[in-house]
Structure 1
Amino acid sequence: MPDRIQCEFFLIRYVPDVVKGEFVNVGVVLREAGATAESTIVRFTRDWTRVRCMDAEADTSLLEALESEIADRLRLGAKDTKPVMQLLEDTLSNSVQITEPRAALAESIPAELEQLMRLYVEPIKMKQERRRTGRAAIQAAMRTEFERAGVWSLMRKRIAASLYTRPGDPMKLDCGYKTEPREVKTDPLVRIFHAVSLENEVDAAKGLAWAAPQLRDGVRRVEGVELELTAIVEPLRTLSTEEGERDSEATDRYRFGVEAMEREAIRVVTLSDLARVAETARFELRV
């Protein structure tokens, strides 16, 4: 039997009411004992159901953004968790806390991380649990592919459209990055990706199409480069009735949404093309 790896892990907890002391685990920090800070791995949950059950007003977008912040602080702070504690105190007034380290013996770091997430963080999966659908499913698939390519932490998330349109614009675009010229001469540009479900939210496609010219002008004005706006949608073949027959109305809505976006020069990509999109991001961000 191969020697196991001595590790230590911390749990990240969301504590909506510090006085009551009730909490829910939302993430794990894992690193090999005595190893360099660069070996630290941070993983947050992708399912915020338990957080929302405890606090319906929880800002899960802020919690998601905190994942990369904690990873950066831990790497910069080596073995000292005080920089992370300070970050949590400054950011969320102790509503997010990190536990004392606990020891673990791992066959491998990735396998141990998955095991800790199952034991301490992820909700128990019910046999009859409904499949995640719509925009939430597309967002989850986007994050998974970008993480697999190693670029998720390098991307901007929940990009405020008001940066490029006008104050008060409530739209938040899912993620994006700015390319840089490489050895082969290419013009830099901003790539922004946004999940649009054409299953039952065709108005979202119309809204993105309406905003596209203003976003494009704003990026040109603020960033000094062109914008490539990409909508990630589910494949048409997934839109069918329970009997497996193609729903003609759903098909018409789907095509209408795609055409509305493409008329405004929005690049429309299906989930089946996400791996290629993520690989392009990996190349352009030089990962």
Structure 2
Amino acid sequence: MKERLPCEFFLIRYVPDVVKGEFTNIGVVLREAGDVASDAAKPEHAVVRFTRDWSRVRCMDADADIGLLEALEGEIAERLRMSATDPKPVLALLEDTLSNSVQISPPRASLAESMAAEMEQLMRMYVEPLKIKVERRRTGRAAIAGAMRTEFERARVWALMRKRIAASLYTRPGDPMKIDCGYRPNGVIRMFQAVSLEGDVEAAKGLAYSAPQLREGVLRVESAKLELTAVVEPLRSVSDIEDEAMERYRFGVEAMERQEIRVVTVSDLARVAETARVELRV
């Protein structure tokens, strides 16, 4: 029988009102127990994962900044990777830097078959909402963004990527656009944006409009070429009464491709993620 791995885990909690003390768990930090500092550069010794379903947070706090909470996952992951050189234990450091609305629970012990399997179990037990009867299927941009993240996580590159990249860094102050994720393998920066064409094509038109300014800005700021990729749902078989939807879909794709935006579907994500894995040398 395979020997189990002694671990400890911490729950990340969102506390919208510290006076009331009510909270909901939004993530898990899992690390090997004991002294692993000599091998801390290996990412499997300490991992973090946040929920992808923010419904409970929104129920507690309708004004919660979900984007900021999502970005926090990347910040924690980065600190965990750098923990070997930090003079202070990484969890204590995080407790000092997080606001009161995001808190870390005391550590709890566990015995894991593997880090990946244990993380899945902890997320089911403590973080993800119970699936009762019929699970609502995510559609549109949310579904595409979720599929994109899943494939990049499967390729073990998600933690190495930039998330919610502010277009204003490259265009002009006040630009509200955020690019979902990206990375820089060499002299090129690859950025990926989930774009749904099922409803309307405004998101596609907006990305197409911004592409030239983004490209110029990346060259100016980063001295690098930008490869911008839009991830869309596949064109499903449609009947005659859905001709208008098909025309909108094609219009959206063509509008982006005219601005040299690479368009792929969710079916291509495994190949895209594998390319990222090779380029990031994971």
TM-score normalised by L of structure 2:
0.90
**SS in structure 1 opposite 2:15?**
strand
- The equivalent of 1:90 in structure 2 is 97
Q: In the TM superposition, what is the alpha-carbon distance from 1:11 to its structure 2 partner? A: 0.9
Q: How many residues align?
A: 275
Between the aligned residues of both structures, percent identity stands at 71
Q: Deviation of residue 35 (structure 1)?
A: 5.2
Deviations 1:216-272 (A, max 9, x none): 1111221222211110000001x758xxx7721111110010011111111100000
Corresponding position of 1:142: 148
Write the deviation string for residues 188-222 of structure 1: whole angstroms up to 9, x where unpaired: 11111101000013111111111111111111221
Residue type matched to 1:212 in 2? A
The within-5 A match list for 1:107-126 is 107-126=113-132
Amino acid at match of 1:23: F
Q: Structure 1: which 5+ runs fail to align?
A: 181-187
Matches of 2:78 and 2:211 in 1, distance apart?
Answer: 33
Question: Partner of 2:53 in structure 1?
Answer: 47
Cα deviation, 1:120-171, whole Å, max 9, x if unaligned, reads 1000112222200000001111111111111111111111111111111111
Contact 2:77 2:159 in 1 (8 A): no
- For 2:28, the equivalent position in structure 1 comes to 28
Go from structure 1 to structure 2 and tell me whether the alpha carbon gap of 1:189 and 1:3 turns closer, same or farther (over 3 Å shift): closer
CA RMSD of aligned residues (A): 2.1
Q: Distance between the aligned counterparts of 2:54 and 2:276, measured in 1?
A: 27
Structure 1 CA distance for aligned equivalents of residues 224 and 83 of structure 2: 35
Q: Cα gap change, 1:152/1:20 in structure 2, threshold over 3 Å: closer, same or farther?
A: same
Asked if residue 270 in structure 1 is aligned to residue 277 in structure 2, the reply is: no
The Cα shift of 1:80 comes to: 9.3
**8 Å CA contact retained: 1:26, 1:45:** yes
Letter in 2 for 1:133: T
- SS in structure 2 at match of 1:236: coil
SS of 2:13's partner is strand
Residue of structure 1 aligned with 2:253, choices 258, 266, 280: 258
Corresponding residue of 1:205: 204
Going from structure 1 to structure 2, the CA distance change for 1:3 and 1:179 (only over 3 Å counts) comes to: closer
Alignment counterpart, residue 279 of structure 1, candidates 262, 265, 274: 274
- For residue 21 of structure 1, what is the amino acid of its counterpart? G
1:2-22 per-position Cα deviation (integer Å, ceiling 9, x unaligned): 443322211111111111111
- Report the TM-score, using the length of structure 1 for normalisation: 0.89
- 1:9 and 2:9 matched: yes
Match of 1:19 in 2: 19
1:76 Cα deviation from its structure 2 partner? 3.9
Task: Point out where structure 2 has 5 or more consecutive residues left out of the alignment.
Answer: none
Q: Which residue of 2 aligns with 1:233?
A: 232
Shift of the 286–109 alpha-carbon distance from structure 1 to 2, 3 Å rule, reads closer
Give SS of 1:272's match. helix
The 2-side partners of 1:130 and 1:118 are apart by: 17
Whether the 8 Å CA contact 1:8–1:32 is kept in 2: the answer is: yes
- Does the CA contact (< 8 Å) of 2:47 and 2:80 recur in 1? no
1:166 aligns with 2:166: no
> Structure 1's 227 and 108: CA in aligned 2 closer, same or farther, altered over 3 A?
closer
